[in-house]
Amino acid sequence: MKLPRREFLYLSAAASAVIATPRLATADSYASRPVRLIVGFPAGYATDIVARVIARSLSERLAQQVFVENHPGAATNIAAEEVVKAVPDGYTLLAMTVTNAVNATLYNNLKFNIVHDLAPVVATFQSPNVLVVTLTLPVKTVPEFIAYAKANPGKINYASAGYGTAPNMNAELFKMMAGVDLVHVPYSGSLLPDLLSGQVQCSFVPIPLAIANIRAGKLRALAVTSATRSDALPDVPAVTESVPGFEASIWHGIGAPKKTPVAIINTLNHQINSVLADPKVKERFADVGGTPLGGSPADFQKLITDEIAKWGKVVRIANINPE
């Protein structure tokens, strides 16, 4: 049957539109191509280490390669903004950390809101930081460190990976609670070379970043920042044993663009929880001083919200302003 010209043109246009319109990702079709996991820190940082452990096992479970891409800069805000703007189809994910929660209060000009613009998938990893000092600093305990700092106000430099990062916030919380004056030295690259050489005297570094140098005797560990001692460093006390009430753990997780279909979020949540339950992953995390978290997207959302409130108070009281 020959169609009238107008009807033929209408149907042709409709067919073209269908062909040109990208298929929306669904749980049934996910994942049909490689997945990008964006990290806001350079390679070798704790967030990167955790992301690569997750990516390796998740690649096997999804039967698609999960690529870790390092997009450092602006205290993780560059990476976060990239994921916020990505197509919400589950193929671009963010390796989140406590820094993302801190930045919600720390920066006034962010072009995104991590609560409103990112969908929580799952919390993955938790570990304390560890207060380390150079071997030339004449202190071996937290009380000795506090006494030395009070006797030498403004003469001890502490290194961090930048404003809003866990080492920065842990140190500022410590300064407030211990009543000491430490000078902040932010780094855009690795802080370890200057810490090892004594250019800076101390840092609250993630255990995964410092544990090899602690075990090798190149850095002196004074205390961990968790509420209790770490299995990775059982002989190192917790800061709270000398500064009652001090607690500051690092956490990591996975986020996605806000409008990512719930079915895909749930698929990722299920698969990553399975990764976290793998004894080999647990062993790898234990080697670097941490434990797997897991749970539901709602659990992760609560963690993020609680951490924004906690660190927002520190930002305001310490009057931290990187801009």
- What is the number of other CB atoms lying within 10 angstroms of the CB of residue 294? 19
The per-residue pLDDT for 158 is: 97
- For a pLDDT cut of 70, what percent of the chain falls above it? 91
Cα distances from 312 to residues 31, 278, 305, in angstroms, run 37, 35, 11
User: Which domains are delineated in the chain?
Assistant: 35-127+250-318 (3.40.190.150), 128-241 (3.40.190.10)
Note the pLDDT tens digit of each residue in 140-155: 999 999 999 999 999 9
Averages of pLDDT over each 10 residues, the chain, 323 residues? 43 39 57 96 89 97 97 92 97 96 92 96 95 97 98 95 87 96 89 93 91 95 94 94 94 97 97 97 89 97 96 90 72
Note the pLDDT tens digit of each residue in 94-120: 999 999 999 999 998 899 999 999 999
Based on DSSP, count helices (H) and strands (E) in the chain, helices before strands. Answer: 12, 10
Q: pTM, whole model, 2 decimals?
A: 0.82
The per-residue pLDDT for 27 is: 57
The per-residue pLDDT for 162 is: 83
Cα distances from 175 to residues 149, 161, 172, 184, in angstroms, run 10, 17, 5, 11
- What is the number of other CB atoms lying within 10 angstroms of the CB of residue 223? 27
How far apart (Å, rounded) are the C-alpha atoms in residues 294 and 280?
15
Element (H, E) at 259: none
